[in-house]
Structure 1
Amino acid sequence: MFEKVLAAVFGYFSISSFAKGKDGKSLLSAEQETKLEGKYGKKFLEEFKKDLSEYEKDGKPAESAVTEELKAEMAAEKEKDATALNTANERIKKLEAEKVDFQAQIETLGKKPVPDSGTKVVGESGVKTKFKPDMNLGFNQHINAVLKGEIGASYGGNTTVDTQELQTEFGRYISSEKMEIFRSLLCTTDSLQYMTTVITDKFKVKASTAHITSVLQSFVPHWTPKGKTTFTPLWLEQFPMKINVEVIPSDIIDEVLGYMYDESMEPADMPIVKYIVENLVKPTLDEEREIAFAIGRFKEPTQDANGNYLANGANQVCNGYLTQLCDIKKGGNTEGVNFIFDGKDLGTGNTLLTNVEAAVDEVKAVYKNKTMFIHCDPDLVLKYSRAYRDKYPNSKNEDGEKVKVDYTKFSFAPLEGMRGTGAFIITPKENFRHLISRNPQEQKLRMKSEDYSAKIFGEWREGVGFWIAEAIFAYIPAALVAQLSPTGSTSAGGGL
């Protein structure tokens, strides 16, 4: 390979040999070195001189490498490359012509009406739902009788619902509706819609690739990689979570009946177990997950004097994304997160408008042309919107509730879990990550009967965080750091 490079250099200088030193080794003049560096770069020059010295270390002169056979071989390769280039150029011209033809066809077809040549499919009336309640069970018979107004149908206290029958029905319902149940329970919360979800069985994951920002360069016959962007991958961790819900079925019969009356449903459309899952478990779970994802701080469950585990708080099941950023800031930010408008107060009124614009101006240029959201405290959006209305009373928000910072591609995304924090985060969706342990089909949800109560159990693993530190632009007030990271410790299983 070096022989060909050497021949190319001789050809570039139009010479057949180099000057020689006292030791008989080839020397490049200062003018030749300047020309080579200007043509191929400093890296090439250094490597060429090194290879030249290595080639001649056994007394073999550089000129001996350039044989007539080598010249003929290189000439043939040059002719072959020229032919391939001409072929490629012709192919490009042909494709460009085809592109023009296709665009003309698309424009012509777009003006023509589409003929109704499809097959019309008529659905059957009264199609049954996927799950059909067992009407042999006492509580389904009771609900059905009450809804139909049958004589003698009345509430009979604890004897109305046999919890063992309810457990049987629950198991049947979970088996047939498992995917839908966990999609419902672990559905997209306010913040999750702005994240990229990753399904993995690993407790901790870390980014393994960088975002390359520059690849174009002049040709030289050496490997000269660019894309020197510094990036710091962050650890993301998911935490084991569960729900334990105790239900007294006899206490909710009236609620179920009232709900079904209001919704004009039949027992087959709203079995009691579906009501329990969707109306007793899901609303609270949604709210608590959203708060935990934002400001949660994981705490290992503790035991009492008898060795029984104590239930920890909903905001102690994982480390939230704001908690992670507060830990980084408290720890000196060795990871390289961009804390924008740091140490300053956003203020109110016109000052708030000015300061938000100043903050978003700190986002690096490579991200400014990318449509991104300002994930933030909902109170901040309200203050910003009112300040904007007061400053420009004749302006109209054409996008409804969507609030955008003027002359940027950044729109506010209020997240309920961030309420009261005063913080905001700007980062691409692919950098804002949500981890979950497995597909919903593999999650567990079950019921256990005890006397007049029914206990619901469910387990999964979940967590949130960020992929690359340098792609985060965050405004984190000092008061929030003091609240969420008083010691700056991530020893409780942080996601970083």
Structure 2
Amino acid sequence: MADISLMVSQYGNYYRNNGTIGKNNLHRHVFDRTNTKKLFTIRPTDNTIIDNASIKVDDVVQAFYNKFSPKGKLTFTPNVWQLGHVKINDRIIPDEYAGTVLDFLNTKSPSRLDAPILALTTEYYLQKAQENIEDTIIFKGVKALPSTTDQNNGVAGTTIGARDGIRKVIRDYNTAGKLVDENGNSNVIVMGAMPTTPALMVEYIDTFYWALPELQRSMIKAIAVKKSAETLYKRGMSNKNQYYEKNSPSEFAYIENTDCAVVGLDSMTGSNMMWTSPSVNNIGFMKNGSNGGIMDIWQSGIYTVDIATDWWEGENFVTPQLVYVSDQDLSA
């Protein structure tokens, strides 16, 4: 649907082909692009259920003596998760633009499928979908379908309810007691409240990193935090290192003397959680992922046009026991 009330208020309920407003005067909305997915290896799939299993290997070496003595065990632990099925639906009425300053977006032919507003709408909706995923869904999402009555009446669902996000995944693993190492030690690192000053933020995030088990620490390449926390960390590091003016600010996004980056994510805005996992453990899947870049368009009525697309997607962790998280924002 469209809201052109402000345009009508400014220019009146009529159209003059005098160039007052044309396609070149419609300025593109600046969309936020997803950067959280860069922390995951995204793979195509034809499945909607993802099956994984982790293997724990008990100790096998022992002192030799002259009798066979079996030692060792493989323990297989399943980890199964479901992809989220998301969609874009809307109904466009090109005639809404007729007789207004935006009349050039209406069709001049009997078929409403020829209206230029269709191409404009689908282009913007597909870009907005990526912004929705980053800002609302990929971290904060908690799947919530409309009620049965609302579904029968075609009521749209909420964006945050489109599918489960990373925070929901981590919270569920924590509730299920899966955020533990092979010896049963908790992977939840007690940090207390997140500070609000640059110097303390450097100390806070550094403390989290050095609290990671030494073996896993060598495989950790990124600690995910909200964008403002990354900014404070950079400021704190620049204050700590007096040669800041001679270096790119990006150099201060790393834990000192390591190759582990402090990565600020737009998706985590408003959350004080910190989380990390070896990059090989971070995986996402998409079914019919190319549909996120195209729309089906059909004339649903004499004067109405419907647009739609849908696909499946989700991010998760192959082995929950390799996910490490601070003690903040772990409950809804």
* Pairwise same-fold verdict (TM > 0.5): yes
2:310 to 456, 459, 471: 459
Paired amino acid for 1:389: S
Counterpart for residue 255 of structure 2:
405
Give the distance between the partners of 2:257 and 2:120, measured in 1 at CA.
47
Give the distance between the partners of 1:231 and 1:306, measured in 2 at CA.
40
1:178-200 Cα offsets, whole Å, 9 max, x none, are xxxxxxxxxx8311122122333
Task: Give 1:409 shift.
Answer: 2.0
Give the distance between the partners of 1:471 and 1:312, measured in 2 at CA.
34
1:432 to 245, 261, 282: 282
1:369 aligns with 2:213: no
2:177 to 333, 347, 351: 333
Task: Give 1:242 shift.
Answer: 0.9
Counterpart for residue 287 of structure 1:
131
Contact 1:346-1:356 within 8 A present in 2 as well: no
1:233-281 Cα offsets, whole Å, 9 max, x none, are 53322122110133344649977989xxxxxxxxxxxx87554332x21
The structure showing larger relative contact order (alpha-carbon pairs under 8 Å, at least 6 residues apart) is: 2
Give runs of aligned pairs for residues 251-262 of structure 1, distance below 5 A: 251=97
Give the distance between the partners of 2:57 and 2:85, measured in 1 at CA.
35
Give the distance between the partners of 2:39 and 2:202, measured in 1 at CA.
24
Give runs of aligned pairs for residues 411-490 of structure 1, distance below 5 A: 411-438=261-288, 440=290, 445-449=295-299, 450-477=301-328, 480-482=329-331, 484=332
1:193 aligns with 2:193: no
Higher percent of residues as strand: 2
Q: 1:212 to 1:409 in 2, by over 3 A?
A: farther
SS at match of 2:55: coil
Q: 1:310 to 1:275 in 2, by over 3 A?
A: closer
Give the distance between the partners of 1:384 and 1:306, measured in 2 at CA.
45
Contact 2:169-2:316 within 8 A present in 1 as well: yes
Contact 2:53-2:77 within 8 A present in 1 as well: no
Contact 1:296-1:315 within 8 A present in 2 as well: yes
After superposition, the CA RMSD in angstroms is 3.9
Contact 2:274-2:325 within 8 A present in 1 as well: yes
Task: Give 1:460 shift.
Answer: 1.4
Task: Give 1:213 shift.
Answer: 10
Q: 1:316 to 1:306 in 2, by over 3 A?
A: closer
1:238 to 83, 90, 95: 83
1:153-202 Cα offsets, whole Å, 9 max, x none, are 948xxxxxxxxxxxxxxxxxxxxxxxxxxxxxxxx831112212233333
Percent identical among aligned pairs is 16
Q: 1:453 to 1:309 in 2, by over 3 A?
A: closer
SS at match of 1:387: helix
Give runs of aligned pairs for residues 92-171 of structure 1, distance below 5 A: 154=17
Counterpart for residue 206 of structure 1:
51
Q: 1:273 to 1:400 in 2, by over 3 A?
A: farther
Counterpart for residue 350 of structure 1:
199
Paired amino acid for 2:254: K
Contact 2:179-2:188 within 8 A present in 1 as well: no
Equivalent residue pairs, number:
283
Gaps of at least 5 residues in structure 1 are: 1-152, 156-187, 259-270, 485-496
Contact 1:295-1:322 within 8 A present in 2 as well: yes
Q: 1:418 to 1:212 in 2, by over 3 A?
A: farther
Please, what TM-score do these two structures have when normalized by structure 2?
A: 0.70
Paired amino acid for 1:288: N
Contact 1:235-1:467 within 8 A present in 2 as well: no
Please, what TM-score do these two structures have when normalized by structure 1?
A: 0.49
Gaps of at least 5 residues in structure 2 are: 1-15, 19-32, 106-115
Paired amino acid for 2:276: I
Counterpart for residue 228 of structure 2:
379
Task: Give 1:440 shift.
Answer: 2.7
Contact 2:220-2:279 within 8 A present in 1 as well: no
Give the distance between the partners of 1:397 and 1:341, measured in 2 at CA.
35
Task: Give 1:374 shift.
Answer: 1.2
Contact 1:444-1:460 within 8 A present in 2 as well: no
SS at match of 1:314: coil
Paired amino acid for 1:237: Q
Task: Give 1:371 shift.
Answer: 5.3
Counterpart for residue 13 of structure 2:
none
Give the distance between the partners of 1:363 and 1:233, measured in 2 at CA.
24
SS at match of 2:190: coil
Q: 1:448 to 1:441 in 2, by over 3 A?
A: closer
Give runs of aligned pairs for residues 74-85 of structure 1, distance below 5 A: none
Q: 1:273 to 1:384 in 2, by over 3 A?
A: same
Counterpart for residue 28 of structure 2:
none
